[in-house]
Chain A
């Protein structure tokens, strides 16, 4: 089996933690170099197992990968090239925080081979940026974006946040317009989630923050979709929009299409040959394990056929294209319609799903209740 596969590098550092974010990251920047050393060790340890696998996408996420020095990025990149088969025509993304992107740095990213840049913008309203705990200014977004274009990035994503407490329709419309004015190739628009362990979660529990109700969230979500689609962005996943097929995020599609990926770095998740595993969510343990020549494994689970089919289904349904029942049969040797007959019938009765050739996909009303739909399978 040598299908599309992705390689993910988790860089667990930020200048400052955003209060809503639950990805693993720390602010002890003095440990960056130790991290890089450990990462190189992990790459070497994983090389043999993945020798046969070609990776079509590489994604540096975090954290804030753009905090790494040029030299550090280069060493990691070289190690990846040396240890894994990476398709030269692939998609190579790096996540960044506005405010960290000088023209020089961006030129260097391009020189290393990165061809897609993702910027965590979230909002164009300074008060909202402060509320979310972001450290950049609105002006820096525009300037960094110009730098990215100048450096030659022709595939840029902006992350926007919606449905957080205090947001107004007017303000959200404004942020959206500002983002659209920059004409990025891709926009991810996420509804705020109060994740356990975050500052926002604590504030919600103590009553300091009140999440929006379901109807308000739905209204923001629909407003975002309307505006983006009106400007030629196609919604290809629950929260993701692209101008044209060539700008879909190929790396994230690996997750949604249930294809294999290898995650490196603390807290990174992997999926390969029916097994899911994750690394320890602690830089200290990560470093210590690798210093002893051990993999920093947090858990490992082998999925049952039932679990694999369920995952394939709920992930596939997140895509506009829907779930490919032909591929389902190929993968699992089972007829999708037969397996989930009563679920499909109930969903169709409630007009939550629709068929397009061999694809089962969410109906327009199904989009907003995708998790409920998943519960039927």
Chain B
């Protein structure tokens, strides 16, 4: 009897161990199936398609590099947009780099939404060419009553130079009041050398020199004009990406904005 009992107990124990082992084996497989199988290429394509639906641009490139130590972990995720529309401007290139990003895979798979839950560090770089700014100004000029305005830009690091020839009728009354002494005819023609600053996605222009209708504008008036116009542009954030522009510098061919 005792023997029989002990055999029964052994059988139950064996069954219990078998169950435990099988649970242990099944669960990791199940949880692995829950986390996405990280094939960089498929994930890149998926993110690219989702962003393509939300962001107006000519081309999107997504680059994912997986961690060598943990193959299921993303080391870096870089997204580049070419000719991306940010507000009224078209940026030549926007590149966003996330280090060790944690992507919300549920949202990505089910809702087809791209969302980064967290990342250790991020870099944003926006390149805007002089031509892109001129196109933006041309667009503004089209909206004017008197379309005889000419504005051109040249980048001379660390300055951005603006050459303008605008009908007086298109100048806001407040500005005109300040420049009253320098208005001779019906046009405001001149030059300005600007240095740029950025803070919390806003762009500021600091004028180092302003010439209007052959007159060098004194510092005090320059300062007042500066206060009147700044910030001169608010940089919209491309949804669903998150970034804050706090740095800008003028380069040979581009205005380079970074976080």
Same complex for A and B? Answer no
Chain B residues with a Cβ under 8 A of chain A: none
